[in-house]
Amino acid sequence: MTVKPRADIAALPAYKPGRNPADLARELGLPSAMKLASNEIAFGPLPSVVDAVTKAAGTMNRYPDNGAQLLTEALAQRNGVDAGQIAVGCGSVSLCQQLLQAYARSGDEVIFAWRSFEAYPLLVTVSGATPVMVPLKDRYDHDLDAMVAAITDRTRVVFVCTPNNPTGTAIRRDALNRFLDAIPDTVVVALDEAYREFVSDPDIPDGIELAAERPNVCVLRTFSKAYGLAGLRVGYLIAGDPAVAEAVRKTYVPFSVSTVAQAAAIASLQAEDELLARCKDVVVERERVIAALREIGVDVPDSHANFVWLPLGEATMTFAADCEQRGIIVRPFAGDGARVTIGEPAENDAFLAIVAGRQRTSEPVN
């Protein structure tokens, strides 16, 4: 008799990462390809971060600090919270999984907007809980009233991705406060702020400030995007109630945040002013790309992240294939749209040229 996994796991689609640009370049016979699919920052690591990584690599024969004490202390100081409110994990996606392991089980429900971070339904299913997907509104914003209405006595966790991946939209202060006030205090709300450092609108609140007033709210952040450590995998959670962070720490896979990753994160915090200045450059380039797309005739929503969303509907996969044939990898979501990372200006110009070309032909982008 063949050993079989759980039926829901057997039917679960695997997470699909962005395509490797080296593979595409070889396939097309090009010297290189451009990857605008995974929301990586275009800048390389700072010299001070490289130095910290090099030094830490000399201790790789030893296990890392399982509690990430130095990094936790640095994060506590940087965010004005107690160390007990923090949990460090192997990227914020791992912290999503840890949170679900701590608070959701078979028979429970987890609410999130859709389309949103594509790992949510996968992680919820793995936890054994039931995903409850609430459609976005017409302009790709969270339908907060519908999310509140979806809460039942089985709801345990609500994920709110702001800025939202993949649409780039974000929730403003008054709306988010009203939403959080309407959530029962028995439900954990996770504000997923992986792209917070690219927010320039003062009316989009910092979730850590909101969590300070609400014990059932926690915030997810990552070093993968703005800090340029996607390849090292380190993120953190800050909870309004230390008990939430403690529960998440209990589901941590031992030693999953390496010594190198911890050292790089600490060095990044020490160089934060320089790193955040680079984020401002990304924001300027983002606004240039959005303006150019609208001038071409593409109705893209405002973005508060380091990517833009093209609402392509059924034309999505054709558009993505067209981009790949020209050596540019974007992130398509079949039937919905494509997410395109803000890269270097030359990369963005190459992408805009493809869009402009399609607009001039019988295959408009929207």
- Domain assignment present for 1: no
- Domain assignment present for 366: no
247 pLDDT more than 80: yes
Whole-model pTM over 0.75: yes
Q: Are residues 18 and 119 in the same domain?
A: no
Task: Write down which residue in 270, 286, 320 finishes a domain.
Answer: 270
What average pLDDT score do residues 185-207 get? Answer: 98
- Return the CATH number at 327: 3.90.1150.10
pLDDT at 182: 98
Query: What CA–CA distance (Å, rounded) separates 192 from 25?
Result: 34
Question: β-strands 328-329, 34-35: how paired?
Answer: parallel
- Domain assignment present for 85: yes
Q: Are residues 35 and 83 in the same domain?
A: no
pLDDT at 17: 76
Q: Are residues 248 and 352 in the same domain?
A: no
What is the extent of the structural domain holding 62?
47-270
Establish whether the linkage from the previous residue to 115 is cis, with ω within 30° of 0.
yes
- Domain assignment present for 73: yes
Share of the chain above pLDDT 90, in %: 87
pLDDT at 71: 98
Query: What CA–CA distance (Å, rounded) separates 356 from 299?
Result: 13
Q: Are residues 214 and 291 in the same domain?
A: no
pLDDT confidence tier of residue 101, bands split at 50, 70 and 90: very high
Distance from first CA to last CA of the chain, Å, rounded? 51
What average pLDDT score do residues 88-114 get? Answer: 97
- Domain assignment present for 363: no
pLDDT at 349: 97
Q: Are residues 184 and 140 in the same domain?
A: yes
Q: How many domains does the chain have?
A: 2
pLDDT at 1: 56
pLDDT at 364: 60
- Domain assignment present for 2: no
DSSP 73-96: HHHHHHHT--GGGEEEESSHHHHH
What average pLDDT score do residues 192-214 get? Answer: 97
- The tokens describing 70, both together, are 């130095």
127, containing H or E segment: helix 119-127
Q: Are residues 354 and 320 in the same domain?
A: yes
**8 Å CB contact between 355 and 365:** yes
DSSP 23-58: HHHHHHT-S--EE-SS---SSPPPHHHHHHHHHHHT
For 277-330, the pLDDT digits (tens) are: 999 999 999 999 999 999 999 999 999 999 999 999 999 999 999 999 999 999
Exposure of 273 by Cβ count < 10 A (0-12 exposed, 13-18 middle, 19+ buried)?
Answer: exposed
Q: Are residues 118 and 192 in the same domain?
A: yes
Task: Write down which residue in 270, 301, 320 finishes a domain.
Answer: 270
Question: β-strands 109-114, 307-310: how paired?
Answer: unpaired
Q: Are residues 174 and 280 in the same domain?
A: no
One-letter identity of residue 171: I
- Domain assignment present for 105: yes
Q: Are residues 353 and 332 in the same domain?
A: yes
362 pLDDT more than 60: no
pLDDT confidence tier of residue 363, bands split at 50, 70 and 90: low
- Domain assignment present for 300: yes
1 vs 224, which has greater pLDDT?
A: 224
Q: Are residues 228 and 239 in the same domain?
A: yes
- Return the CATH number at 186: 3.40.640.10
The mean pLDDT of the chain is 95
Query: What CA–CA distance (Å, rounded) separates 239 from 352?
Result: 41
Task: Write down which residue in 237, 270, 303 finishes a domain.
Answer: 270
pLDDT at 14: 79
Q: Are residues 152 and 260 in the same domain?
A: yes
Q: Are residues 256 and 128 in the same domain?
A: yes
